[in-house]
A and B are shown apart, each in its own frame.
Chain A
Amino acid sequence: MIKPVRFSLNGKTTTVEVDEERMLLWVLRTELGLTGTKFGCGEGFCGSCTVLVNGRPERSCQLPMKSIGGKKIVTIEGLAKNGKLHPVQAAFVEHDALQCGFCTPGMILSAYGLLLENPKPTRQQILDHMEDNLCRCGAHHRIVKAIEAAAAEMRKGVRS
């Protein structure tokens, strides 16, 4: 059924009138023009479509619009502020924690979600948390290093 859905998108109140059974991923990429959130597998196995919902990483390909009313959604486009990269983004650049870059938005939002919940994760906690985010290029090592560096940076209170 087509219904207005009102939610916060990257800090701005947004209303879309769409079939409420549709998945957030497609509404983001099509109606809202935010193509940074990627389609990878369509079944929640790969993590490329990860966004933050009320601060928690969720698979947007599995999130019907009816479930997000009133919630705060953050996509990869909403992280940098005033042209300044978020510490997690900056750490991915600094550590070359990407190759083709297709899984990167999902990786960054998953990582950010972890750091919001646990500002000082152990290496094992990082591995566990990132387990279901897939990267085919094999950038895993650098992604872990980048998350460790971002955690340290964020703890300094640069910004969270």
Chain B
Amino acid sequence: MTRFTEEIFEHLGIDLPSEVSRRKFLKMLGGGIVVTVSANDLLALQEAPARRRFGRELPDDFNAFLRIGEDGRVACFTGKIEMGQGVVTSLAQMLADELEVSLDSVDMIMGDTDLCPWDMGTFGSMTTRFFGPPLRAAAAEAREVLLELAAERLGVAADELTVRDGMVSSTADSAQKVSYAELAKGQKIARRLDREAVLESVENFTVVGHPVNRRDAVAKVTGAAQFAGDIRREGMLYARLLRPPAHGATLGTVDASGIEAVDGATMVVDGELVAVLHATPDGADRAIATIEANWKTPELDLDEDSIFEHLLNVAPAGENVDRGGDLNAGMSISTAEARHTYLDGYVAHAPIETHTAVAEFSDGRCTIWASTQTPFPLQKEAAEALGLAEDKVRVIPPFVGGGFGGKTANRQAIEAARLAKRTGRPVQVAWSRPEEFFFDTFRPAAVVKIDAGVGEDGRITYWDFTTYFAGSRGADHFYDIPNHRTVAAPGGWRGGPGTHPFATGAWRAPGNNTNTFARESHIDALAAQTKIDPVEFRMRNLADKKMRRVLETTAARFRWLEAAAPSGRGQGIALGIDAGTYVGLAAEVDVDRATGKVTVQRLVCAQDMGLAINPEGATIQMEGCLTMGLGYALAEELHFSGGEILDTNFDTYEIPRFSWLPEIETVIIDARNDPPQGGGEPAIIVVGAAIANAIHDAVGARVYRLPMTAERVKAAMKRSERR
């Protein structure tokens, strides 16, 4: 229950100061969220912190969410954006079911700040959970108002009318009918419902809960789909900016005399921005290469290996996230203990579309087409940077070519807007791949320390978990442990000044990948010490029925072979909770004993996500999470030297490729009567731990640091041989 609020606070950068205020906050919401929560409560939940941060909220007029055209087509307005996660389809499904129109008649208008209801951004697997309910409520109210209007028009009582595919007809005489299009005539519907509209019940859904292919697929396979970089404006110039060699570097002298060699190139300086502009993107590339600059780079003796000691040195005192029982009491009765430190490096978002924006000034207004997950916060940020009122900035997000949290930062759009203002011409800023690696808001390096003990009966007697810089998401365990404490250094990925040598931010299921890797590795370490099969060990320590079902389903579908690890088979399991969804993953790996190279052969993932709005879309997200997760588990790690980012392209920064593909099986547990939970992130959190546990099962060596490269696996094997 509190997990939802914490996620929102986390995303908004608001630290919950104390247990007291958290309780007060939940009280304010009327006791918080239970499975029977109403749309309004959920809305309030999103609204309260959003109001504090942005002073904005979702409108309560259903016309803000939908418009019925004279041609019968229904426009659905949402502040959310489409970056591959599939809400262009699932939101349309929700609207179609509540309004009783065909899915084909729905057009999605997404993220346009002039047209769409305010939204804080597309992240945290929150679209379905938090925008879904108000969208459904708006559509339900619109449906009932339309029924009232139809009743008056036809002279038939509203309860004697039925509606199908946007056509209202009398149940007694189907010839008596009127369409939504005739009733609405493309206008805003002035009437409001004087009572709460009743939402469709799950049994009546004809679109929701049924698999549908992506609605944007045809545009995307023909090249017609527009991304920010595909926007063309009259007189548009392409910009390249002068970039520092390292974070923290300061600019000394600039020699721009060489630019004359590039026909048509001009240099623009706006405050600290030094840019070249050209009518072609590659012309701008050639021009920037002619600029010579002296930079002063501060000495900073940090790299991907020494960062962990630094982080522990600068970590502020932790705050209890959760605690219960008495740790000392638990320690006094344990018969075996495990104490380990888990490390995780910086990881890049690396979307294939780099940060891109086009900005144009016209009639005192600035329009920005940007690859962004946060169009409304960008509108505010751009207005401040340009010295304009917020309503003088319009942000239009075309299709976004992958985000994963990285496109909640909008630096490129501000650059484009400032250059457009400075030059009076439309300007495109599209980051090169080295710029994308340099200015990314990386998933932070983090450290987790766990001390835990277990009794002879295989029950965990105490659990002491401290996480540094991963944040609290996924830090709290769900096992039945009598004496436990979870401590998280406050601030999560944001840290304080002097913490990280460059920007860090939210990366698909922020913090949870790190925390779940540590927790589930440690659970296996305890299971191994007591020589109990890892699935059986978890069952002994799990009271939560939902999680037990997830574990049983995962193990059964995987055809888990019961054995204490290491069994030599290379099977591993991990559990986790993210965005309200419970997830289990079993992995089968092969480890090359000579090199330490890990090949993942098979992944079986089961999740309980409540009602799956589009089971096809949810399945695709699970597959995407599992495939992307192979990267942080096995290879992805940013190399740097102080503020200099050494990875500049995909030659040294490895992301998953076709040859890595394991067999993947996904199961969505039928929980259609529970409210829908997040789908875009949960399945990625368990990949690291399931593979770590499978490696241990294969070769008897445990890797405590992500990514589990061949060298680290080899080193772990050597360590375990020595023991």
A contact set with B: CB distance below 8 Å: 22-23, 26, 29-31, 33-43, 45-46, 48, 75-77, 79-80, 85, 89, 92-94, 96, 98-105, 108, 126-128, 130-144
Contact = CB atoms under 8 A, between A and B. Distances in A.
A33 B623 CA distance: 34
A38 B430 CA distance: 12
B216 A140 contact: no
A89 B221 contact: yes
B352 A29 contact: no
Contacts of A43: 433, 649, 651
Nearest to B661: A140
Given A39-B281, A85-B218, A102-B399, 9 more contacts: A40-B353, A41-B433, A76-B221, A96-B214, A98-B214, A100-B401, A102-B353, A133-B658, A142-B620
A76 B354 CA distance: 20
Is chain A's binding surface mostly helix, strand, loop or mixed?
Answer: loop
B220 A104 contact: yes
Nearest to B653: A45
A92 B216 CA distance: 12
Contact of B222 (A48, A89, A128, A138): A89
Contact of A98 (B85, B221, B404, B651): B221
B661 A137 contact: no
B573 interface: no
30 contacts: A29-B230, A30-B279, A34-B223, A35-B226, A35-B232, A36-B224, A38-B401, A40-B352, A41-B649, A42-B432, A85-B221, A89-B222, A93-B213, A93-B214, A93-B217, A93-B218, A96-B217, A98-B220, A100-B399, A101-B84, A101-B217, A101-B219, A101-B401, A102-B401, A104-B220, A105-B223, A127-B661, A136-B655, A140-B657, A142-B620
Given A40-B352, A41-B649, A45-B650, A104 B221 contact: yes
Interface stretch (B8-16, B494-502, B625-633): B625-633
Given A100-B402, A101-B399, A141-B664, A92 B221 contact: yes
A35 B279 CA distance: 16
B659 interface: yes
A19 to B, nearest CB: 9
B658 A103 contact: no
A101 B655 contact: no
Contacts of A140: 627, 656-658, 661
A137 B628 contact: yes
B interface residue count range (under 10 / 10 to 19 / 20 to 34 / 35 or more): 35 or more
Contacts of A30: 279-281
Nearest to A86: B221
Interface in B335-355: 350-354
Contacts of B430: 39
Contact of B281 (A26, A33, A45): A26
A97 to B, nearest CB: 9
A27 to B, nearest CB: 8
A83 to B, nearest CB: 10
A100 B651 contact: no
A46 B353 CA distance: 11
Interface string B75-101: 000000001111000000000000000
B86 A99 contact: yes
B214 A136 contact: no
A86 to B, nearest CB: 9
B616 interface: yes
A108 B225 CA distance: 15
Contact of B623 (A40, A76, A131, A138): A138
A102 B352 contact: yes
Majority SS of interface residues in chain B? loop
Contact of A46 (B214, B650, B659): B650
A94 B352 contact: no
B352 A103 contact: yes
B201 to A, nearest CB: 28
Contacts of B402: 99-100, 102, 136-137
Nearest to A25: B282
A143 B218 CA distance: 15
B659 A128 contact: yes
Contacts of B222: 36, 76-77, 79-80, 85, 89
A154 B258 CA distance: 53
A132 B651 CA distance: 10
Contacts of B432: 42
Q: What are the nearest 6 A-B pairs in CB distance?
A: A36-B223, A100-B84, A102-B401, A138-B627, A101-B220, A99-B84
Interface of B: 83-86, 213-214, 216-227, 229-230, 232, 279-282, 350-354, 399-404, 430, 432-433, 616, 620, 623-628, 649-651, 655-659, 661, 664
B659 A127 contact: yes
B502 to A, nearest CB: 20
A134 B649 CA distance: 12
Contacts of B221: 76, 85, 89, 92-93, 98, 101, 104-105, 108
Given A76-B222, A137-B624, A140-B658, A38 B353 contact: yes
Contact of A131 (B84, B227, B404, B657): B657
Nearest to B617: A96
Contacts, number: 173
Given A26-B281, A100-B84, A134 B650 contact: yes
Nearest to A130: B658
A136 B651 contact: no
A142 B617 CA distance: 12
A127 B651 CA distance: 19
Contact of B649 (A45, A103, A135, A136): A45
A96 B655 contact: no
A96 B215 CA distance: 10
Contacts of A96: 213-214, 217, 616, 620
A140 B623 CA distance: 9
A39 B656 CA distance: 19
A40 B219 CA distance: 19
A101 B219 CA distance: 9
Max chain A C-beta neighbours (<10 A), residue from B217, B226, B620: B217
Greatest chain B CB density within 10 A among A26, A100, A136 is at A100
Nearest to A100: B84
Contacts of B354: 39-40
Contacts of B86: 99
Contacts of B400: 100
B369 to A, nearest CB: 13
Nearest to B619: A96
A41 B350 CA distance: 10
A103 B658 CA distance: 13
Contacts of B623: 138-139, 141-142
A62 to B, nearest CB: 12
Contacts of B226: 35
Given A102-B353, A134-B657, A142-B620, A76 B223 contact: yes
Contacts of B627: 138-141
Contacts of A100: 83-84, 351-353, 399-403
B341 to A, nearest CB: 30
Given A41-B433, A98-B217, A108-B221, A29 B281 contact: yes
B350 A136 contact: yes
A33 B223 CA distance: 12
A132 B404 CA distance: 21
B658 A144 contact: yes
A88 to B, nearest CB: 8
A96 B619 CA distance: 11
Contacts of A134: 352, 650, 655, 657
Nearest to A23: B282
Nearest to A88: B221
Nearest to A77: B223
Contacts of B433: 40-43
A43 B647 CA distance: 14
B232 A33 contact: yes
B692 to A, nearest CB: 20
Contact of A94 (B84, B213, B650, B651): B213
